[in-house]
Structure 1
Amino acid sequence: MKYLVQKFGGTSLANSELREMVAQKIIRAKNEGYSPVVVVSAIGRQGDPYATDTLLEFVEKISPDIPPRELDTLMSCGEIISGVAMVATLRAKGYNAVFLTGSQAGIITDDCFTDAHIQEINPALIHKYAHQDAIVIVAGFQGVTKDGDVTTLGRGGSDTTAAALGVALNAEAIDIYTDVDGIMTADPRIVDDAKTLNVVTYNEIVQLAHEGAKVIHPRAVEIAMQKNIPLRVKCTFSDAPGTLVTAQSENGPIEIQKDKVITGIAHIPNVTQLKIITANYPEIEDAHLKIFKAMALAGISVDFINVYPEAVIFTVKDQVSAKAIEILQNMGFAVEAVPGCAKVSAVGAGMAGVPGVMARIVEALAEEKIKILQTADSHSTIWCLVKQADMERAIRALHKKFKLNE
């Protein structure tokens, strides 16, 4: 069986005209000899009648104290509605189509409600219906525990569903359909001449996704990497080829062009930099441990971490910064806070071992008189913290400096 997994987001399913476009993509894959397995998200976004956020808003007006188990049962409804609607659309065109919930598709998860992780997949029913020449539509974003409780997979859960099914079915490819033509060199709302990337490596797109690019969830990419199954990010509303995410090009390993050391620019806004003075603490190593343990116990995610003998520096989201500062001050630490920051990241597999990349980043930002508040790097990413007021200029400056529009 030659499987092709196709995933469509809620904006692609919001009305009958859009579902018609989705149906044509599915039918084309069927006519090309694939057995399509189609993963769908909930229809629309907050305010739309069947969107997940709309369903949550409905019950939270009754009571905000809803257990996570019951929340997951509710949040799974949106994908069921869009899945059945897609089956109806295909059957109206004369195609045999069947809908499966996450449970029916064999997606078994842990019991971490609202952010469950897939433990295993038993795609027996998918195989059964595919061998009956049916187009299988699967609810994204959901699974079931071994005890039979419905779970949801957290942010980007439908991408994760698609990738996991692609691996379980040993699919030819996993196509993620969005409302853009593919993965861009930067956010096109900020950079007018941002280009669609033809090919990127798994590692590059994982970094871009972790650093704020919202086209695909990094967990999905990491799953697809397990069997080196090609991911393709495409647009529902056009026939553009999109972006291929793989470790291989059609002619073998991807060649890293040394004049293109940077592949793309990503960003995360609305963060606060915290500097905690530890120089006067009797046992500095103990201070470091206490700081990070306190953040973890409070459920506060920390990022952009630099640890020095005299201080610890990291960032948190703006909305939890007051809570973080209060906790640290109650522990007796002096805290210096810089709110309203943004993390700007330059990502590229070609930068490893290439001298002068950081110099070009500093030069680009200096030319725009943008102050760098903090930096860090890995073999494929360089991060800079800047004031949020400077974020868009920083993104455009880096995009131009590394000639990503060419």
Structure 2
Amino acid sequence: MRIIVQKFGGTSLSTSQAKERVIQHIKRERDNGYAVVVVVSAIGRRGEPYATDTLLDQLQPYGDYIDLKERDMLLSCGEIISATLIGAQIRAAGIPAVVLSGAEAGIETDDDFGSAKITAITPERIIQHLNKGKVVVVTGFQGKTKQGAVTTLGRGGSDTSATALGAALHAEIVDIYTDVNGVLTADPKLVSDAKPISKVSYAEICHMAREGAKVVHPRAVEIAQQARIPVRVRSTFSDDEGTLVQDATWEHNEHAVLDRHVTGIAYALGITQLHVSGTDKQLHDPQLIFETLAQHDISVDFINVSASHSLFTVQAQQDQLAYTLLTERELAVTLNRECAKISIIGGGMNGQPGVMARIVAALTKEGIAILQSADSNAAIWVLVKEEQMAKALTSLHSTFDLNR
């Protein structure tokens, strides 16, 4: 049996026109010979009645009285509503279908309510229905503990449900449907000549997702990579195949010829750079610095440590707390607020000389200072001021011929 998993996000289910497109995608894959499993998110976004954030907002007035287990019971309602409605619409279109909750689909998790991790999937019930020719609609974002309590999987949970089910069912492919036609080389709101990307590696899409290109959750991609299942990021409103995510075999082939080494550019805002050094009363002590921040759940990035100082970044909403904690330890702290992290991403950069030189040349030409930099096998990151970010994105996009 050839199985395909189709995941539809909230915007794909928010209007009658969108839901009709969902039905068309299901029909097409059935006509192509696939047994179809559909995973759905809650309908719409914050402000719409059944969106996850709207449900979460209902609890905010109760503060410390919120029980995490009961909160997950509430948050799971959005997917139950959307699955029930789309299941009925599928049957109305003449296609046999059945709706299963995450628990009924065999998704078992730990008991970390609000951010549960999938520990096992027993998909026998899904397979039984597929063997009867039914489309199986599964509520995304949720599962159950061994004790039967409802859990939710945290941000991107429906993407995670889809790829985890794809792995458990040995699906041929997982399609993630959104309101954009795949992954673009850059944010089109900031880079006018951003282009669609036809194919990326798992590593590249994970970098893009973590650094701002939020079309698929990195946790979902990691599950697909482990199971070696291709993922397509597609638009609900188009029949185009979007962006294919799969193993980049050329990464392991030293004779492969690449016409470009950079695949895309992403960014993150709201970052503060900290310069921390010793004083007459307290020597520069990196262990003291990072243990202090860790004890208060402050995550750090862009870390450079030398004998005289430490340089790193934190999220802007935590910079005042970080400043206070470190100055209380009698360390000298300087804040550089309103910074942006730009990610130049591409599996083909690994081992290629001259990439950083081109980045520096492009930004220098535009008068943009690089405040810090870091790199990995598939990405180079540079820190710049927020006010220069848009110019930096456009310059780098052109430098690496991503507009072709």
* TM-score, length of structure 2 as denominator length: 0.95
Output the CA distance in 2 between the equivalents of 1:293 and 1:145: 34
In the other structure, the counterpart of 1:362 is 360
Aligned 8 A contact 2:279 2:331 in 1: no
Output the CA distance in 1 between the equivalents of 2:101 and 2:292: 39
User: What's the CA shift string for 1:303-339, capped at 9, x where partnerless?
Assistant: 1211222112211111111122112222222211111
Note the C-alpha offset of 1:172. Answer: 0.4
Q: How does 1:93-172 map to 2 (within 5 A)?
A: 93-172=93-172
User: What's the CA shift string for 1:83-124, capped at 9, x where partnerless?
Assistant: 101101101112111111111111111111111111111112
In the other structure, the counterpart of 1:177 is 177
Note the C-alpha offset of 1:278. Answer: 4.1
Q: How does 1:12-51 map to 2 (within 5 A)?
A: 12-51=12-51
In the other structure, the counterpart of 1:338 is 336
In the other structure, the counterpart of 1:308 is 306
Amino acid at match of 2:226: Q
Please identify, of 294-303 and 179-188, the stretch whose mean Cα deviation from structure 2 is larger.
Answer: 294-303
User: What's the CA shift string for 1:43-78, capped at 9, x where partnerless?
Assistant: 000110111111122232355631222211111111
Q: Equivalent of 1:388, from 363, 386, 391?
A: 386
State the SS of the aligned residue for 2:343: strand
State the SS of the aligned residue for 1:226: helix
Q: How does 1:184-199 map to 2 (within 5 A)?
A: 184-199=184-199
State the SS of the aligned residue for 2:65: coil
Output the CA distance in 1 between the equivalents of 2:344 and 2:217: 18
Q: Equivalent pairs: percent with the same residue?
A: 51
Amino acid at match of 1:238: S
Output the CA distance in 1 between the equivalents of 2:227 and 2:190: 35
Aligned 8 A contact 1:346 1:382 in 2: yes
Q: How does 1:201-216 map to 2 (within 5 A)?
A: 201-216=201-216
In the other structure, the counterpart of 2:371 is 373
Cα distance change of structure 1 residues 281 and 151 upon mapping to structure 2, 3 Å threshold = farther
Amino acid at match of 2:395: A
In the other structure, the counterpart of 1:296 is 294
User: What's the CA shift string for 1:259-288, capped at 9, x where partnerless?
Assistant: 41111001011111112114868775xx32
Cα distance change of structure 1 residues 255 and 189 upon mapping to structure 2, 3 Å threshold = farther
Aligned 8 A contact 1:279 1:311 in 2: no
Amino acid at match of 1:127: I
Aligned 8 A contact 2:282 2:330 in 1: no
State the SS of the aligned residue for 2:36: strand
Output the CA distance in 2 between the equivalents of 1:211 and 1:63: 31
Output the CA distance in 1 between the equivalents of 2:144 and 2:183: 31
Please identify, of 291-300 and 229-238, the stretch whose mean Cα deviation from structure 2 is larger.
Answer: 291-300
Output the CA distance in 2 between the equivalents of 1:281 and 1:233: 55
Amino acid at match of 1:276: V
Please identify, of 181-190 and 252-261, the stretch whose mean Cα deviation from structure 2 is larger.
Answer: 252-261
In the other structure, the counterpart of 1:245 is 245
Please identify, of 42-51 and 119-128, the stretch whose mean Cα deviation from structure 2 is larger.
Answer: 119-128
Amino acid at match of 1:37: V
Amino acid at match of 2:319: S
Output the CA distance in 1 between the equivalents of 2:123 and 2:281: 56
State the SS of the aligned residue for 1:115: coil
Amino acid at match of 1:167: A
Aligned 8 A contact 1:278 1:312 in 2: no
Output the CA distance in 2 between the equivalents of 1:65 and 1:322: 28
Amino acid at match of 1:399: H
Aligned 8 A contact 1:278 1:309 in 2: no
Amino acid at match of 2:209: A
Note the C-alpha offset of 1:148. Answer: 1.6
Q: How does 1:255-294 map to 2 (within 5 A)?
A: 257-278=257-278, 287-294=285-292
Aligned 8 A contact 2:102 2:144 in 1: yes
State the SS of the aligned residue for 2:98: strand
Output the CA distance in 2 between the equivalents of 1:249 and 1:354: 17
Cα distance change of structure 1 residues 295 and 42 upon mapping to structure 2, 3 Å threshold = same
Note the C-alpha offset of 1:370. Answer: 1.0
Output the CA distance in 1 between the equivalents of 2:106 and 2:147: 13
In the other structure, the counterpart of 1:68 is 68
User: Is structure 2 residue 394 aligned with structure 1 residue 400?
Assistant: no
Cα distance change of structure 1 residues 248 and 320 upon mapping to structure 2, 3 Å threshold = closer
Residue ranges of structure 2 left out of the alignment (5+ in a row): none
4+ runs deviating over 6 angstroms: 252-255, 279-283
Cα distance change of structure 1 residues 7 and 331 upon mapping to structure 2, 3 Å threshold = same
Output the CA distance in 1 between the equivalents of 2:255 and 2:167: 25
Q: What is the aligned-residue RMSD (CA, Å)?
A: 1.9
Amino acid at match of 1:166: G
Aligned 8 A contact 1:99 1:138 in 2: yes
State the SS of the aligned residue for 1:369: coil
Output the CA distance in 1 between the equivalents of 2:255 and 2:195: 19
User: What's the CA shift string for 1:180-209, capped at 9, x where partnerless?
Assistant: 111111111111111111111111111111
Please identify, of 222-231 and 51-60, the stretch whose mean Cα deviation from structure 2 is larger.
Answer: 51-60
Output the CA distance in 2 between the equivalents of 1:326 and 1:65: 30
Output the CA distance in 2 between the equivalents of 1:256 and 1:291: 45
* TM-score, length of structure 1 as denominator length: 0.95
Amino acid at match of 1:221: V
State the SS of the aligned residue for 2:227: coil
Residue ranges of structure 1 left out of the alignment (5+ in a row): none
